[in-house]
Amino acid sequence: MLEALTDSTSSALTFIVTQVVHPAYFPFLWAPTLHAARGVITSLLLGLPPPMAYSVQPWINYISVHLALTALFDTFPWLLVPKQIDTLLLPVDALLRATSVCGTVSLLHSPSLPPQFKAMDTPFGHALLVLSSGLWGGSVDIWGGALAALIFSASTHDSSFAFTSLAPNALPFPLNLIPPFLLQLFFAPSTQGFSPSARYYPLASSPLPPLKGKAVATIAFGIMFGVRVLYTHWLTPGPAKQVVGAKGRPGNVAKGSRLVNGSGKAK
């Protein structure tokens, strides 16, 4: 089941970054188009103007999506309901955020990266990079992004996650604070990893391909977003309903099977 889930997620990730909406009439990739749609919907829900664009192609992409969705929700305003929108767009949110997070982590392996930034190429650095770049979002975006970055880097056996020893003096912060016997539960020896000299890698003895690792990170993001939506929209009770009195004054509030008036006395 997990294999089928990662395969389908890998296919979805490949699709949104390789396929255009229409080769002739709208030759833009699905990823920025969906991102534009999600940004516009969020702005509409918050009463904000549409996101700014800084070049011609994103401007065309975003303004086209903005005009289409504005017309749609102006015609059918009852569709713009946060509970339904957040629930239906869970897969889109996970795909887009995981693409952004994994792309951010991949910057550490760019040949043009200044040498002073190579010190960030550690497990803590991967999480810190995503945390610092996601401060504009909510808590799930920030900590979920850090978790997704760690899962992506660890599952693909990134060189920063390869260790010759589990002794504290051979590990970076914060892994050097964890007792070695606990680390042995999560790290396994490997001979198939990124670094030939490394002996220990997280969880698996063989690395996942980058696309599979990205898929696992996407699934983790989806789970965290799902928990947020479940708690925010489905488990939290709605506001109490007012009951109009005999004289048309909304003085009573329905509370379970009882009516409580403004003086706090139960009827």
Q: What is the pLDDT of residues 199-223, one digit of tens each?
A: 676 665 567 788 888 898 899 888 8
Residue 115 maps to a domain: yes
Q: What is the pLDDT of residues 132-148, one digit of tens each?
A: 655 445 567 777 777 78
Residue 266 maps to a domain: no
Average model confidence (pLDDT) across the chain: 76
> What kind and span of H or E run contains 177?
none
Work out how many domains the chain is built from and give that number: 1
Residue 161 maps to a domain: no
Mean of the pLDDT values across residues 25-40?
88
Cα–Cα–Cα angle for 70, 76, 77, nearest 5°? 75
What's the pLDDT band for 35 if we cut at 50, 70, 90? confident
Q: Check whether the bond before 174 is cis (ω within 30° of 0).
A: yes
Residue 11 maps to a domain: yes
What is the reported pLDDT for 47? 64
pTM attached to this predicted model: 0.64
Mean of the pLDDT values across residues 23-44?
86
Note whether 180 and 170 are within 8 A (CB). Answer: no
Nearest residue to 72 via CA among 84, 64, 83, 61: 64
Domain membership of residue 8 as a residue range: 2-156+208-235
What is the reported pLDDT for 256? 44
Residue 172 maps to a domain: no
Distance of alpha carbon 149 from alpha carbon 102, whole angstroms: 6
What is the reported pLDDT for 148? 81
- Please say if the pLDDT value at position 21 is more than 90: yes
Nearest residue to 36 via CA among 106, 139, 26, 83: 26
Gap between the terminal Cα atoms of the chain: 55
Residue 164 maps to a domain: no
239: tokens are 């506001």
